[in-house]
Structure 1
């Protein structure tokens, strides 16, 4: 067994979690229900405060104008939705975890419970779709990407903000060690359900790199696909257009 395999095995046995929870929507939603109470503060701590900048960059990449309607999928407590709503944009928070939506009930944006693979919206009903740090938790990401295209008007935009692969190899190694060791330990101190962050660390490690995700967007019918790295590739913004 390699060191990497041993680390993964140790984490699974210590946390009592499957590596991916089989991505069953009800099971993943229940996991997010359990972390909802301290989700925002945990994200800020684990990201070293970078999460606010990532949200601003996502809004800028979307480029929505006043009066347009955008859907924020996997919106969680709607912190990201509030950011998207700046400047008169009508931003709607959508999440399959009702616990998350309740935790963000005080935020003044429309909210709807819904699954990324079966959105409760009509065809071509929004000007843009954003999903931040949620696509990797969907049971079938390709089906979700096609669903995002279904609800987006021609000429509309998709932005996927997701953890990715650091471009500098020495830092990539350090980052992997942080994910598998430091992240769950920090979560032990600040999260309302630290076990969930073992799963989240594994889901980040298993996620496709920038080029592979761009290929998947193209395969789902999005055109003019491009990406921009944030924080050295720890996060990547992928953007596509609905032809």
Structure 2
């Protein structure tokens, strides 16, 4: 079974997600205790896709995260670099224009999208700063970015409980549900090593995004960052 490490070699990360594609959405629901659906709703509201807009949904996996944008009347392009996830998504949702692509070298023209979003994928990119710059490049001036990612709980006692859950409870739960439980050890490690809310906001600003702000979801377990292309 494939397990990526924190140096995030692209072929290792892609192969790991290939392994878990068939049950990935189920695992998200189980391991987040049902919160993943609420997080997807928050992302959809933040993107606020409108009819006629073009939305790029990065790290879209099987396309579950793309459905609200399509339902809003936007043209959505779900993009991922795991072919296993894309094939599973095409089997389930043949109507979506699922596209293979690397977040650090996006196969799209400059200023091609009104909005770009990525949920729980930026921390899996080997060079997140390059990905943020690419997202800026393909967004039109005045367009927007929404990044949904695991972050740091704001209440210290809960933060301790959460860390214990990640490192002790998550792997055993994954063993009962996932086809590749080792992948969820990587998941826990990658969450612990990811920057907090202010740290990610600073990276967005350095990449060139303006009006950067965030709000916490589930007490800071997840943070929703937003920005605008000048």
| TM-score calculated relative to the size of structure 1 | 0.91
Report the counterpart of residue 165 of structure 1 in structure 2.
Answer: 152
CA RMSD, Structure 1 to Structure 2 (Å): 1.3
Q: Which runs of 4+ in 1 moved over 6 A?
A: none
2:32 equivalent among 26, 29, 47: 47
Alignment deviations for residues 79-122 of structure 1 (CA, whole Å, 9 cap, x no partner): 00112222201111100001001111122321100000011100
Tell me, what secondary structure is at the counterpart of 1:65?
coil
Alpha-carbon shift at residue 17 of structure 1 (Å): 5.7
1:129 and 2:116 are equivalent in the alignment = yes
Tell me, which stretches of 5 or more residues in structure 1 are unaligned?
A: 1-14
Instruction: Tell me the secondary structure at the aligned position of residue 109 of structure 2.
Output: coil
Whole-angstrom CA distance in 2 between matches of 1:200 and 1:84: 26
Structure 1 segment 66-105 matched on structure 2, within 5 A: 66-105=51-90
TM-score normalised according to structure 2 size: 0.96
Q: Deviations over 1:7-54 (max 9, x none)?
A: xxxxxxxx996751x211111100100010110101100011111110
Find the counterpart in structure 1 of residue 194 from structure 2.
Answer: 207
Structure 2 regions of 5+ residues with no counterpart?
none
Aligned residues: 228
In 1: Cα distance, 2:222 partner to 2:69 partner: 18
Query: Deviations 1:147-189 (Å, cap 9, x if unpaired)?
Result: 0000000010000000000000000000000000111111001
Provide the rounded CA distance (Å) in 2 between the counterparts of 1:103 and 1:120. 21
Residue matched to 2:21: 36
SS in 2 for 1:128: strand
Greater displacement, 112-121 / 58-67: 58-67
Match of 1:233 among 205, 212, 220: 220
